[in-house]
Amino acid sequence: MKHWQLNKEEGGIVVATLDKAGEAANSLSAEVMAEFAVVLDQLELNPPSGLIVRSGKAAGFVAGADIHEFTQLDTPEKGRELVARGWDLFNRLASVSYPTLALIRGHCLGGGLELALACRYLLAVDEPGTKMGLPEVMLGIFPGWGGMRRLPQRIGPTAALDLMLTGKTIDAKRAKKMGLADECVPPRVMDMAARQLLLSGRGRRPLPVVQRLLNGPLKFVVARGARQQVVKKARPEHYPAPYAIIDLWAKHDGNALAAPAVVDRIIHSPTARNLVRVFFLQERLKGFGKECDFKAQRVHVIGAGVMGGDIAAWCVLRGLTVTLQDQTLERILPALKRANDLFAKRLRDPLKIRDANDRLIPDVTGDGAVHADVVIEAIFESVEAKHALFKALEPKLKPGAVLATNTSSLKLEDLRTVLAKPERLVGIHFFNPVAMMPLVEVVAADGADPAAVQAACAFVRQIDKLPLPVKSAPGFLVNAVLAPYMLAAMHAVDSGINPETVDEAMLAFGMPMGPIELVDTVGLDIALAAGRQLADGAEPPHCLLRAVENGHLGKKSGRGFYDWSTGRAAKAAAGQVPAGLGERLVEPLIARTERLVADGIVADADLADAGVIFGTGFAPFTGGPLHYRQKRG
């Protein structure tokens, strides 16, 4: 066998180790699954006292199905075959006469978790990397290999639907608490625990009565509630998969093969194809900086405002030691407070929170720059101020240190003039809110040192963001495409359409937030300045000028296009959206994206799509603006 190793131990336990040939991580390709069927054949002839399924990879258990296979499902038969392949195999695993156990260490996702769910016991190893979930919905499909049946049986339908509909993952402790894992143990005892648990004869902890009712006669109650939740997040015309998951569970007990029409519809939906495309785009972004062995240990951030403070906190959360510089301690305090809140939310364990706070060091004198591997400037947008800063900074830097600016509106070419080595300055441009936005633009001006750009990309990967290399140009990619889009939206308001209607048109298009609400969030003054810079000299919208004159600057001032006094935009009913409004409003964004590709600001159309999706939230189910344009013709 190529991918599986079988080891029979004294006492008759067989350990089946999956170590997919030629890959760093395990995935359930057709070949891997066919081999596993052979494993089951062999064991059927000569039944062991128990079977342990584990991974031979350092990365984790199983990352899921082989997503490359999804791109080859060109006929309905192939789609159904794919579903049947796992459904049948895991049903077979679930019905073997001997006890089975999945030893889960590292990621165990999608098909991997469905494999584990088909085992009698699920043993989770308590390590930071251990993550379990059924994220199929994020690829526009459903967990068709038994997950929709077995997860609700194990943890109850409410929790199961929550996992399947959001695609979120849980760690080992949580898995034990929810009843997904039978035990959660540290790695040092996992081998003993696996063997003891396997032969324990222990029955499954029964679901509470209420959950059993909800997974039986009262399914319709849960299904109705789940649909109501999903409607708030995803429209069925954009994202059919979550609705299909609810239906398949409620009507067919999770057996997708009982509803072949649904299988065909979902697997061949443009959404699924496009989300798979987005997945591969994301993988491509993750590849930037890979060939570079730069690894930062200390980061120095200058400017403790919203961006600088949040960048610092994010780097700390990702394990780095960060010195955060500003003129006074008082200016740094709000950032420390926000960081503490972020750590508390993300880390939970008091020792880890304390460790994170220890690694975020306020630095009024700027001494941290001397020791830093990466220095990020995030002070206010003034060429003079940044010049003064860079002049003082450069002699202090370590030789190989990355010197970066988080500027969004100034030209790197202008900023670097004061440097003895101007080629070392790169842009590392984060988006607000830093903890939520996955994309970071890595900006290279003409003549930038390729090694510095590489190192910047590697750093962005190190802190678990997606680097997008872009050339220096006003607004880079993301802001440059957003500006004409927001202006078009405001011009629509000038033409007499309500802000609510404009926003609704774009929500219906699939945007995560309406453009007018986005302007309010960004700040009207910022939008006006950005518009002047990025709109090719077009007239600013009247509604924007008027609002700014009246001091209505958006969310931050309590009022912009909307009233924000409650902390949320008070919106009236949107009313009827004029036909084609959404398409019309998105047109300038697409046109600008095309132009930026043509100008070489971003290397190719796919990367542009990736950048716009991960940087703006542009409707992922469309596959990105240029893909959307191409498909629409």
Partner 1 sequence: MPDGCLSMNPPVYVVDGARSPFLKAQKGPGPFAASDLATQAGRALLLRQPFAPEDLDEVILGCAAPSPDETNIGRMVALRLGCGQKVPGWTVMRNCASGMQAIDSAIADIQRGKAELVLAGGVDALSRAPLLYSDVMVRWFAALMGKATVGSKFRHFLKLRPAALLTPVIGLMKGLTDPVVGLLMGQTAENLAWKFGIDRQQMDEFAVTSHLKAMSARAAGYFGEIVPVVDSQGKVYADDDGVRADASMTGMAKPKAFFDKQYGKITAANSSQITDGAAWLVLASAAAVEKWQLKPLGKIVDTEWAGLDPAQMGLGPVHAATPLLQRHGLGLDDVDYWELNEAFAAQVLGCLAAWQDATYCREQLGLPGAFGSIAEDRLNVDGGAVSIGHPVGASGARIVLHLLHVLRRNQARRGVATICIGGGLGGAMLVEAC
Q: What gap in Å lies between CA 262 and CA 266, rounded to an integer?
A: 6
Cα–Cα distance for residue pair 285/274, rounded to 1 Å: 16
Contact 249, 161 (CB under 8 A): yes
Residues in 282-321 at the binding interface with partner 1, rule: CB under 8 A: 321
Stretch of 12-20, 332-340, 480-488, 594-602 lying at the interface with partner 1 (CB under 8 A): 332-340
371 lies in the site for partner 1, by CB under 8 A: yes
DSSP 622: G
Q: Does 361 help bind partner 1 (rule: CB under 8 A)? A: yes
Scanning residues 113 to 132, which ones bind partner 1 (CB under 8 A)? none
Our CB check for partner 1 shows the closer of 304 and 524 to be 304
Q: Please state, in angstroms and rounded to a whole number, the distance separating the CA atoms of residues 197 and 313.
A: 41
- Strand-pairing partners, residue 374, are 299, 402
Q: Does 539 bind partner 1 (CB under 8 A)?
A: no
- Minimum CB–partner distance for residue 353 and partner 1 (Å): 8
Based on the shown chain and the rule CB under 8 A, indicate whether residue 400 belongs to the binding site for partner 1: no
Q: Is 337 in the site for partner 1 (CB under 8 A)?
A: yes
User: By CB under 8 A, is residue 331 in contact with partner 1?
Assistant: no
Q: 118 — alpha (psi -120 to 50), left (phi > 0) or beta? A: alpha
Q: Is residue 100 a contact residue for partner 1 (CB under 8 A)? A: no
The binder of partner 1 chosen from 349, 358, 583, 599 (CB under 8 A)? 358
- In the complex, minimum distance from the CB of residue 343 to partner 1, in angstroms, rounded to a whole number: 9
Does residue 359 interact with partner 1 by CB under 8 A? Answer: yes
CB of 309 to partner 1, least distance (A): 11
**Shortest CB 293 distance to partner 1, Å:** 20
The count of chain residues that interact with partner 1, using the rule CB under 8 A, is 22
Nearer to partner 1, 309 or 467 (CB): 309
User: Which amino acid does the sequence have at 303?
Assistant: G
**Whole-number minimum distance, CB 105 to partner 1, in Å?**
24
Q: Is 50 in the site for partner 1 (CB under 8 A)?
A: no
Structure-block tokens of residue 534? 């990025």
Is 29 a binding residue for partner 1 by CB under 8 A? The answer is: no
Going by C-alpha positions, the residue among 444, 431, 415 that lies closest to residue 601 is: 444
Least Å distance, CB 94 to partner 1, is 42
Other CB atoms within 10 Å distance of the CB of residue 494: 16
**Which residue number, 333 or 535, has a Cβ lying nearer to partner 1?**
333
Q: At what angle do helices 478-494 and 542-549 cross, to 10 degrees?
A: 90
Q: Which residues contact 274 (CB under 8 A, 6 or more apart)?
A: 140, 620, 621, 622, 623, 627
Stretch that binds partner 1, among 20-28, 90-98, 351-359, 474-482 (CB under 8 A): 351-359
Indicate which single residue of 95, 365, 565, 576 sits in contact with partner 1 (rule: CB under 8 A). 365
Minimum CB separation of residue 394 from partner 1 in Å reads 17
- What 3-state DSSP class applies to 603? coil
Is position 334 an interface residue for partner 1 (rule: CB under 8 A)? yes
Nearer to partner 1 among residue 66 and residue 310 (C-beta): 310
Question: Given the rule CB under 8 A, which of 42-50, 359-367, 494-502, 622-630 is the region that contacts partner 1?
Answer: 359-367
Query: DSSP of 332-388, one letter per residue?
Result: HHHHHHHHHHHHHHHH-SHHHHHHHHHTEEE-SS-GGGGG-SEEEE---S-HHHHHH
Alpha helices in 376-522 (DSSP H): 383-393, 412-415, 450-462, 478-494, 499-509, 515-522
**Least distance (Å) from partner 1 to the CB of residue 80?**
55
CA distance 501 to 464: 37
Asked if residues 505 and 581 have their Cβ atoms less than 8 Å apart, the reply is: yes
104 vs 296, which CB is nearer to partner 1?
296
Min dist CB 8 to partner 1, Å, is 40
Residue 459 main-chain phi, psi, to 5 deg: -65, -45
Distance, in Å, from the CA atom of 590 to the CA atom of 630, rounded to the nearest integer, reads 11
> Site residues (CB under 8 A) for partner 1?
321, 323, 329-330, 333-334, 336-337, 340, 354-355, 357-359, 361-363, 365, 367-368, 370-371
